[in-house]
């Protein structure tokens, strides 16, 4: 695998945290602390509500924005929803199929598939999150779950669109639990994901696609996950709300590129 050719990606998932004024103060702090790094893509996912004001404040040389959620239709009578077409020009990325959307809000594979396509239609890069629950893991079903979620999420994605997709392996049991996955299990999962992308889109697509890990990452364990073969970056929840930790993780990603050279 030509791992060196792929950028590193560090994503901050702020979830339903920070009011608009707090988000603005936090971004201000982060922009001062974080150096922009060639070859490290830093993506921030604030709440939809703060996106527009943060987009005016954002140093786009350092950061890009992601939508945490959206509805898959472009417009129409869908009270309370925001479409990705409405977020065009504000975000470059969108999370799709995050475990909290799948399991707290019961999003179906059909919703997830439609969202991947909707994002691509609007020129937004989908970050497709996949991962097994604790029960599925205990029952040795991780392989099947990943196979199904990748296959279903990518259904109807063309071979030119696959370049725009990022896949995040996020075991459900590792999210927000303080219990991160074992390096060897992550390595196996990523291999499986790439194998499936190769089966669907060919070897080159599997080598080029960015696959990242998420689940209880902090500044102390980030380096060990960035070392795992096939892992191009990290999706960070809790620790992304701490500017010191988040900027430290970004530096770690940058240093991991230097070490690869």
Q: Which of 166, 165, 178 is nearest to 237 (CA)?
A: 178
DSSP letter (8 states) at residue 228: S
Name residues contacting ligand PGA, limited to 20-49 (CB under 6 A): none
Q: Give Cα 146 to chain centroid, integer Å.
A: 16
Q: How far is the CB of 207 from ligand PGA (least distance, A)?
A: 25
Active site residue 170: yes
CA 127 – CA 12 distance, rounded (Å): 12
Interface residue with ligand PGA, options 23, 235, 243, 249 (CB under 6 A) = 235
Name residues contacting ligand PGA, limited to 141-170 (CB under 6 A): 170
Interface residue with ligand PGA, options 126, 131, 153, 237 (CB under 6 A) = 237
Interface residue with ligand PGA, options 13, 117, 142, 245 (CB under 6 A) = 13
Q: Is residue 239 a contact partner of residue 218, using CB atoms and an 8 Å limit?
A: yes
Q: Does 234 bind ligand PGA (CB under 6 A)?
A: no
CA 10 – CA 5 distance, rounded (Å): 16
Nearer Cβ to ligand PGA (100/161)? 100
Interface residue with ligand PGA, options 85, 191, 223, 238 (CB under 6 A) = 238
Nearer Cβ to ligand PGA (158/224)? 224
Interface residue with ligand PGA, options 18, 27, 167, 236 (CB under 6 A) = 236
CA 113 – CA 162 distance, rounded (Å): 13
Number of residues that bind ligand PGA (CB under 6 A): 13
Stated as kind and residue range, the H or E segment containing 37 is none
Q: Give Cα 207 to chain centroid, integer Å.
A: 18
Catalytic one of 107, 136, 170, 251: 170
CA distances from 21 to 62, 90, 127, 137, 244 (A): 21, 18, 27, 40, 19
Q: Does 214 bind ligand PGA (CB under 6 A)?
A: yes
Q: Which residues bind ligand PGA (CB under 6 A)?
A: 13, 170, 175-176, 214-217, 235-239
The residues that are catalytic are 98, 170
């Amino acid at each position: 695998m030509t791992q060196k050719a792929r950028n590193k990606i560090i994503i901050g998932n702020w979830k339903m945290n920070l009011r608009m004024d707090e988000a603005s103060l936090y971004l201000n702090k982060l922009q001062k602390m974080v150096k922009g790094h060639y070859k490290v893509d830093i993506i921030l996912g604030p709440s939809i509500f703060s996106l527009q004001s943060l987009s005016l404040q954002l140093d786009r040389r350092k950061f890009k924005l992601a939508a945490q959620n959206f509805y898959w239709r472009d417009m129409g009578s869908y009270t309370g929803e925001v479409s990705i077409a409405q977020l065009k020009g504000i975000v470059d990325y969108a999370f799709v199929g995050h475990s909290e959307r799948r399991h707290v809000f019961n999003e179906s594979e059909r919703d997830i598939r439609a969202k991947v396509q909707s994002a691509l239609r609007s020129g937004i890069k989908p970050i497709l999150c996949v991962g097994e629950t604790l029960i599925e893991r205990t029952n040795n079903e991780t392989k099947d779950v990943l196979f199904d979620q990748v296959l279903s999420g990518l259904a109807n994605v063309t071979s030119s669109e696959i370049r725009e997709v990022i896949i995040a392996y996020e075991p459900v049991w590792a999210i927000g639990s303080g219990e991160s996955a074992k390096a060897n299990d992550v390595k196996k999962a990523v291999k499986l994901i790439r194998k499936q992308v190769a089966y669907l889109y060919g070897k080159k697509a599997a080598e080029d696609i960015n696959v990242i890990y998420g689940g209880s990452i902090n500044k102390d364990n980030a380096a060990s996950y960035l070392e795992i073969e096939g892992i191009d970056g990290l999706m960070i929840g809790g620790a992304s709300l701490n500017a010191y930790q988040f900027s430290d993780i970004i530096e770690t990603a940058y240093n991991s590129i230097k070490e690869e050279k």
